[in-house]
Amino acid sequence: MLERFFVNTDPIIWLTIFVLAVFVGIEVISKVSSTLHTPLMSGANAIHGVILVGAILVAGSAQSTPILVLGLVAVVLASINMVGGFVVTDRMLVMFSRPKRALDKSAHRELEQ
């Protein structure tokens, strides 16, 4: 308990990390083409599924049954968000790469002829 008080009496460090992460977030997607808006939204969506870590933490330290049940609900919801998000994004992106391979093949055929 004392430790948590200690860490959080220094919110400036957390604020620093927060502000830097804001700029990184803006910077990394600043040049995205509209073609990729849908997968990008879905991929970012999957990343915040990492709240699963938080859900595991609170469920893992639950002291009473109602809290445990609530925590487990959070774990289920967070895993749907995280796993489902990454899988569905991958499904979309596979389609993006497939026509390219088909094209490569036809290019080869032309070369052979």
Partner 1 sequence: MTPAWAQLGYLIAAVCFIVALKGLSSPKHARRGNLIGAAGALLACVVVFLVSDIQHLLPILAAIAAGTAIGVVGAYRVQMTQMPQLVALFNGVGGGAAAIVAIIELTEMQRGTAPLFDLIATAFTILVGSVSFAGSIVTFLKLQELMTTRPVVFAGYPILYGLGLLAALGFSIGLVLMPSLLFAVLLAVVGAGLGVLLVLPVGGADVPIVISLLNAFTGLTVAASGYLLENILLLVAGTLVGSAGTLLTRLMANAMGRSVINILFGALKGGSSLGATTVSDRPVKSAGPADVAILLAYAQRVIIVPGYGLAVAQAQHALRQLVDLLEERGVQVDYAIHPVAGRMPGHMNVLLAEAQVPYEQLREMDEIDPEFKQADVALVVGANDVVNPAAETTPGAPIYGMPILHANQARQVVFMKRSMRPGFAGIENELLYQPATTLLFGDAKDTMSKLLAELKALTV
Of residues 35 through 74, those in contact with partner 1 by CB under 8 A are 35-62, 67-68, 70-74
Q: Is 107 in the site for partner 1 (CB under 8 A)?
A: no
Q: Is 96 in the site for partner 1 (CB under 8 A)?
A: yes
- Closest to partner 1 by CB, 48 vs 108, is 48
Cβ atoms < 10 Å from Cβ of 49: 19
Measured CA to CA, the distance from residue 96 to residue 38 in angstroms comes to: 12
Fill in the per-residue mask, 1 to 40: x = in contact with partner 1 (CB under 8 A), - = not in contact: x-xxx-xxx-x--x--xx--xxxxxx-xxxxxxxxxxxxx
Measured CA to CA, the distance from residue 23 to residue 107 in angstroms comes to: 42
* In contact, 97 and 47? CB cutoff 8 Å: no
